Amino acid sequence: MNIPLVDLKRQYDSIKEEIDAAISEVISKSAFVGGPFVESFERSFASFCGVRHCAGVGNGTDALFIALKCLGIGEGDEVIVPANTFIATSEAVTMTGAKVVFVDIHSNTYNMDPAKLEDYLKKRYSKGTSTRQHGSTATRPSAVIPVHLYGQPADMDPIIEIARRYDLKVIEDGAQAHGAIYKGRRIGSTGDVVCFSFYPGKNLGAYGDGGAIVTDNDELAVKMRMFANHGRMDKYDHELEGVNSRLDGLQAAILGVKLKHLPEWSEKRRRNAHLYNQLLKETDLITPVEVSEVVAVYHLYVVRTRKESRHPLQDYLKSKGIATGIHYPIALPNLKAYARLKHTPNDFPEATKASQEILSLPMFAELEEDEIAYIAQEIKHFHGDAGRIGLARQG
Ligand SMILES: Cc1ncc(COP(=O)(O)O)c(C=O)c1O
């Protein structure tokens, strides 16, 4: 068997007629930038998320950047992000001129640990001032970006409560969690402003780049929409200098078709995850923890191995036609890109440890039960062999 990490072709085959018709309609109406398909998708996605506004933008990184800019974040601000996420989360902060601050993650969910967020802020303010010297610039904690990583919502209630006490804006990164639910609320209606990516491999993916920002804040929605479109509402009446970051008509029409299937796809991902959990019970892998009051949508299915057995397991599975990935192999603060912050791996022990042990197994809605059974069986074979040569976890 050959099993990819994600298979976009299988998904396309299952909805080919609807997608082809939607693409033809956009082309026949030349509705490439703005227009009815974008407006219709924005309305549907806002309603799916349970909020009043959705602004389609060029990609998920821009969504974060635009949200931060329109909330007034820039030079002199610190924005706190989890040490384990895709670099786009922190890149968007730097793009505004603000300083990136990392906090460590929970060892079981891999999401931002609210206790670590509070620790950072306590230490920061125990210095008796809300500002500190960073190079020649004084900065102050201004915002936090919780990320709903791998499709599992971050623990929003304590994060929002801490943010309120310390006067931080909260911008959620929902790039991996379309449709996930936290305490009865769908990601999107969980906070003031939530950013999404529609990169093709995402749970709701376009056929190119795309992104969106959703909010219930009327004023912010107008501002973000304007900023993303050269700072204008009317053709040549620019109220400010913005950027060009728009969701295009073709992507919007494709996303409109796919959004209707998303609940059923999320359900299928969850069923796949539960089957993996059950079949991997007797192995020494640690399967994903889904915390109570949360409905995760398993953008990725991430297991934990022992550091020394991860690469041998990955190589073994590859030899059996099973693709795997690592999300992410280097925790953000340990990347060369952040050498300027002078962190050591000990500063973020949980994120560093996770980066050495995690492994993503194939996960997509169309993954078949017999494929999951085959993957689990090969993992068991590996552990049998590895146990004999002393690589697997004991006991
Ligand atoms: C957690 C996270 N944030 C932000 C992004 C950025 O999205 P995009 O690739 O659409 O810019 C991604 C995806 O790539 C992501 O996984």
pLDDT above 90 coverage of the chain, percent: 91
Mean pLDDT computed over 347-373: 98
- Whether 367 has a pLDDT exceeding 70, the answer reads yes
Band of pLDDT at residue 395, cut at 50, 70 and 90: very low
- Whether 136 has a pLDDT exceeding 50, the answer reads no
For residue 129, what pLDDT is reported? Answer: 52
Radius of gyration of the chain (CA): 22
Q: Is 211 in the pocket of ligand 1 (CB under 6 A)?
A: yes
Whose Cα sits closest to atom 8 in ligand 1?
A: 60
Question: Ligand 1 centroid vs 171 CA: distance in angstroms?
Answer: 14
For residue 138, what pLDDT is reported? Answer: 84
Using CA atoms, how far apart are residues 88 and 110, in angstroms rounded to an integer? 17
> Coil, helix or strand for 284?
coil
Using CA atoms, how far apart are residues 196 and 192, in angstroms rounded to an integer? 14
Q: Is 255 in the pocket of ligand 1 (CB under 6 A)?
A: no
Question: Ligand 1 centroid vs 207 CA: distance in angstroms?
Answer: 15
Probe target for ligand 1 pocket from 81, 87, 198, 199, with the most ligand atoms within 8 Å of CB: 199
Overall pTM > 0.85: yes
Q: Exposure pattern of 320-340 as b/e (b: 16+ CB <10 Å)?
A: bebbbbbbbebbbbbeeebee
> 48 with 185: CB under 8 angstroms?
no
Distances (CA, A) of 123 to 128, 141, 188, 333: 10, 12, 31, 19
